[in-house]
Amino acid sequence: MIDAGVLATAILSPTAGYVLLAVFGVTWVALGMWWGRRAKSYDGFAVAGRNVGLALASATAVATWITSNTVMLAPQFAMQLGVWGAVAYSTASFGLFAFAPMSGRIRELMPHGYTAVEFVRRRYGRLGSIPFLIISFFYALTWLISMAMAGGKLLNVLSGIPYEVGMTVVVSVCVLYTLFGGMYAVIGTDFIQSLIILIGLVVVATAVLMNVSVAEVHETLVTERPMLLSFLFPAALMALFNNMLFGFGEIFHSNVWWSRAFAMREGVGPKAYALGGLLWLPVPIVAGFLGLASPALGIGISQPDTAGPLVAANLLGTGGALLVFVVVFCSLASSIDSLLAATSDMVVNDIVEPVAGQMSDAAKRKAAMVSIIVLGVAAWAVAWPNVGTLATVLFFAGPLVGSCIWPILAGLYFRSASPIAACAAMVLGSVSGLVAYFAIGWFVASLIGAAVSGIVFAIAVHLWPDEFDFRTLREPPVDVPSNPNSVS
């Protein structure tokens, strides 16, 4: 049943919303099936044959990182934390820049690899891989849930479609085309989605600036909300560094980015991630301006994480609502499909096969498809109650991923990084960050988690150093029960 209050403020009619949903749903499923024809083997399904070129690689990096969270959370950050809030979200691009050389190192060290968990298992043994596997799955589900929520909120705000219906359709469409095409479908659709997102954001930004000037926005904020312009706003300053470290942790640890590093042709990864970071950098600034402009435009915002779509739709009318719908739907799909594909790789390679033993190509493909369905259902079930804002849901995982920065970075480049150091850093960093999340707030949790993890890691490496042989990683992946090169 559609709420009368929501329907009264919606820009599009429910009928238009359902039509758009059907058109885009059918289009992405059809494209996924078409591109998925190339996935003849599990290697093709999981890592697109390890032969993705620069154009597709850059596009998939941009599209995956321009999530619904970028389009909807950047305005929320700006509304609540001011100018620093929009800048804080843009610092997530630093993670892409930093991962650029790392992707080349990953491809060189593990030419036959599939997942980040596989690297940690072979680098640190079970002592490091167990907490990392838990963190990776928790983060993947949290990201999935936040984007499922964003899809439901978007359709509800723009067209009055019930949150539960919109959320269900968005998740179902992404599950379907990922199920049929795997990484080929994900990267292929990402290319189109990235073009649509970037063009759409430029059009929205231009249209907004034609309706309200930067000077008008500044004058309104000075009069009504001067703290949003303060360079000494404490919460905003903490959020700046918190979000930057969260971005590093997200990219360094997540199999979404590792699976792409494995899928890219040798030598492509560093260029693709650097280019992706450059293209993504201005996006949160543009989206954040929508949040800052809402007071000057006199638009009431009841839910801060819907500020961006509401401002654009109110300014641009039906055309703006259609454009916002297209942009956010593409940003949703480009990230949900990536998560489903990358997380299913972890299920198959890091849980099912180590337990069941060596699997045939067909069995691994079947296990991947089943895991995609299960992941979609799990995200849908948790997102259904619609509890909390996108920021509170997403940043709950912040201290966990922040605690993985140092074990991953040191594990790729330094022989002395040890299993004891990795395990202690991830566990103590996560615990301290979660305590800060509840005791202080989400805007410091990643910062504290990463800081504690770094200190613990440095001390533990000094006390219990290792002497790892990186040459062992170049061998085809096998289930390694413990770190064979540890001398600690």
Arithmetic mean of pLDDT, 120-145: 91
Q: Which of 195, 169, 83, 144 is nearest to 343 (CA)?
A: 144
pLDDT at residue 445 is higher than 80: yes
What distance in Å separates the CA atoms of residue 310 and residue 312, rounded to the nearest whole number?
6
389: left (phi over 0), alpha (psi -120 to 50) or beta: beta
Average pLDDT over residues 10-29: 83
Written as six digits, the tokens of 386 are 């619609």
CA distance 21 to 18: 5
pLDDT of residue 143: 82
Neighbours of 231 (CB within 10 A): 9
Pick 394 or 83 by higher pLDDT: 83
83-97, 199-213, 305-319: which has the minimum mean pLDDT?
A: 305-319
For domain 4-390, give the fold. Answer: Sodium/glucose cotransporter (1.20.1730)
Residue 424: predicted pLDDT? 97
CA dihedral for 258, 260, 263, 269, sign (positive or negative): negative
pLDDT digits (tens, 9 = 90+) for 264-277: 998 999 999 999 98
Using DSSP, state whether 52 is helix, strand or coil.
strand
pLDDT: which is higher, 107 or 396: 107
**Residues 6 or more apart in contact with residue 15 via CB below 8 angstroms:** none
Which sign does the torsion angle of CA 390, 336, 208, 443 carry?
positive
Question: Which tokens is 465 given?
Answer: 């150093």
Q: In angstroms, rounded to a whole number, what is the distance separating the alpha carbons of residues 246 and 446?
A: 6
d(CA 459, CA 154): 46
Among all chains, which residue has been given the structure tokens 């949040």?
A: 291
SS3 call for 339: helix
Alpha-carbon span 123 to 146, nearest angstrom: 31
In the chain, the amino acid numbered 461 is V
Mean pLDDT of 27-33: 87
Using the predicted structure, report yes or no on whether residue 375 has a pLDDT greater than 60.
Answer: yes
Residue-level pLDDT at 251: 92
Q: Which residue has the higher pLDDT, 451 or 308?
A: 451
Q: What percent of the chain has pLDDT over 70?
A: 88
Q: Which pLDDT value is given to residue 206? A: 80
- Binning pLDDT at 50, 70 and 90, where does residue 478 land? low
pLDDT of residue 300: 66
> Which pTM value belongs to this model?
0.84
Whether the pLDDT of residue 61 is over 80: the answer is yes
What digits encode the pLDDT tens for the residues 454-466? 999 999 999 999 9
Mean pLDDT of 379-395: 74
The Cα 56–Cα 50 span in angstroms is 12
Res 108: pLDDT: 93
Does the pLDDT of residue 349 top 80, yes or no? yes
134 band by pLDDT with thresholds 50, 70 and 90:
very high
Domain residues of the chain, as ranges?
4-390
Calculate mean pLDDT across residues 52-65.
87
pLDDT of 460 reads 97
Strand partners, 244: none
300 φ/ψ sector (left φ>0, alpha ψ -120 to 50, else beta): beta
Neighbour tally for 256: CB within 10 Å? 27
Find the range with the poorest average confidence among 47-51, 107-111, 127-131, 191-195: 191-195
- Residue 125: is its pLDDT beyond 90? yes
State pLDDT tens for residues 72-120. 777 877 777 777 777 777 888 898 999 999 999 999 999 999 999 999 9
Give pLDDT, residue 302. 62
pLDDT value at position 413? 96
Q: Please provide the average confidence, as pLDDT, over all residues in the chain.
A: 83
pLDDT at 217: 73
Measure Cα distances from 200 to 66, 206, 207 in Å: 12, 10, 11
Tokens of 414: 């330094």
Exposed/middle/buried for residue 302 (C-beta within 10 Å: 0-12, 13-18, 19+): exposed
Helices 269-280 and 93-109: crossing angle in degrees, nearest 10, is: 170
Q: What's the pLDDT at 357?
A: 81
Per-residue CA distances from 327 to 24, 53, 191, 286, 316 (Å) = 11, 25, 14, 13, 14
Q: How far apart are CA 140 and CA 143, in angstroms?
A: 5
Query: In whole angstroms, how far apart are CA 365 and each of 35, 368, 369, 478?
Result: 16, 5, 6, 18
